[in-house]
Chain A
Amino acid sequence: MIATIAPIQATALVLVALGATAVALCTNPLRQIILSGVYGFVLAILFVTLQAPDVALSMLVVSTVAFPLIVLAAITRSRQRTRRRRE
């Protein structure tokens, strides 16, 4: 069963590559979190186009809410701490 790659799958793959590069090149942590959420969303779309809806759902719920929230909390925390140290 060898299938050729469909246009929508190719598009999703290109978007994933672009998203991953954007996340890796971003230097601002806040923007990076939001980008990683967008990247997770694009990855979920890729999984849907590859007929893996269960994996797509897991990716979606973890990468767009749970992961950004916890990383955001950690970053805010460390910023508060460094600010206090400076004062």
Chain B
Amino acid sequence: MRDRHVVRGLLALPAVGGLGALLAWGFSGLPPFGDFHGFYGQLLNAIVLPQRHTTNVVTAIVFDYRGFDTMGEEFILFAAVVGVVILLRENNAGMTRAAQADFVRSDAIRFFGVPILGLVVLVGLWLAAFGLVTPGGGFQGGVAIASGIVVLYLTVGYRHWHRLGDERRLDPFEGIGAGAYVAVGIAALIAGAPFLHNLLGPGTPGTLFSGGSMSILNWAVAIEVAAANLVLYTEFLQRLVAPKELER
């Protein structure tokens, strides 16, 4: 046993040393703290508010200047969730006895759980809605909404979660979220502009009506991300709570 540790250590030594040397070399060449060389970043900081009328530059980059990249990222998530669903899919989708018995007995947790659920979902909606004005956006909002809903499982129990965490109900939202993004892009093409061109005009800065087409893309991503996360949780919790039926 000890010999194996020694051999492993000896084998790791050159790799760790080499990696450490590379890291040290890389870090020694970094610009000083706070000295930002990215010209593109400085340019965007200067032009986003006059051009796109959004006060959150990050969201403008994600949904407008780099909107095509975000579409790719959205479909990465979509494909990943489809992969998980295919891998974990089971034929018997009904609730098992083990799952039915899985509920929270503590009154305190149930009592505080429901307000927490509401609060987290509200924060998620707020993050998504004001993504073009203040920090946040569709992705963060979507994950927060899904996290809020999963509190239902954590504080009330699987049976109540099962009603919401039903894949047949969630899949349409995922599809709509992913599809709406592409639809906005194609609408711009039909209007004779480049793909994902901001058709709806810039709007008023600092309000919910800033950003034009970006707000549609933002909500599309929020819906897609929330649904994708919920599908993931549904699949994992199903495998977690109802394991006995699966082993057959």
Contacts and interface: CB of A to CB of B under 8 A. Distances in A.
Contacts of A53: 135
Interface string A12-28: 00000000000000000
Contact of B139 (A5, A58, A80): A58
A57 interface: yes
B240 A57 contact: no
What size tier do the contact residues of chain B reach? 20 to 34
Nearest to A74: B236
Nearest to A73: B236
B223 interface: no
Nearest to B147: A65
B140 A57 contact: yes
B34 A61 contact: no
Given A4-B33, A54-B136, A70 B239 contact: no
A77 B240 contact: yes
Chain B, interface SS category? helix
Nearest to A70: B236
Interface in A3-52: 3-5
A1 B147 contact: no
Contacts of B65: none
Nearest to B31: A2
A80 B240 CA distance: 9
A80 B243 contact: yes
B195 interface: no
B143 A61 contact: yes
Nearest to B229: A66
A84 interface: yes
A3 B144 CA distance: 33
Contacts of A56: 135
B198 interface: no
Interface of A: 1-5, 53-54, 56-58, 60-62, 65-66, 69-70, 73-74, 76-77, 80, 84
18 contacts: A1-B34, A1-B36, A3-B33, A4-B33, A54-B58, A54-B59, A54-B135, A57-B127, A57-B135, A57-B136, A61-B143, A61-B147, A66-B146, A66-B232, A73-B237, A77-B239, A77-B243, A84-B247
Given A70-B236, A80-B243, 16 more contacts: A1-B35, A1-B36, A2-B32, A2-B34, A3-B33, A4-B33, A54-B140, A56-B135, A57-B140, A58-B139, A60-B140, A61-B143, A66-B143, A69-B233, A73-B236, A73-B240
